[in-house]
Amino acid sequence: MQENYTFLDDLGEELDLLQRHIKILQLLKKDGPLGILRISQITNIPQHRVRYSLRILETEGMIAASPEGAKIVGNVDDFVKKLKNGLSEIEKRISELRKDLDSF
């Protein structure tokens, strides 16, 4: 029987998760504060996934709950800058991995 699991599956799932967090953060920056149901309706992301993303963004200090819904409280520009720097580092590592694979 063939195994369907690969390391790339995990990496792809993590990138999908990061993309979802960013999409929600962008929406809150543009239209916030918003509640879970409204975010779900606008983005077509299931409520349980919205709730998880909001929890992560709150842990990162980017958002907070308010009576009107989730709202941005952190410095989004700094957060985005850190994400971009982190992605640049990951791109470098991917390039190194490709070189390693080319030696096979």
Question: How many CB atoms are closer than 10 A to CB 47?
Answer: 13
Residue 95: CB atoms within 10 A of its CB come to: 10
pTM of the model: 0.88
pLDDT at site 6: 84
- The Cα–Cα gap between 90 and 104 comes to 22
Are the C-beta atoms of 71 and 28 separated by less than 8 Å? yes
Q: What is the pLDDT of residue 34?
A: 98
- The DSSP 8-state label assigned to residue 22 in this structure reads H
**Tens-digit pLDDT profile for the chain (104 aa)?**
556 668 889 999 999 999 999 999 999 999 999 999 999 999 999 999 999 999 999 999 999 999 999 999 999 999 999 999 999 999 999 999 999 999 98
54 burial level (CB within 10 Å; 0-12, 13-18, 19+): buried
Q: Which residue has 């080319």 as its token pair?
A: 102
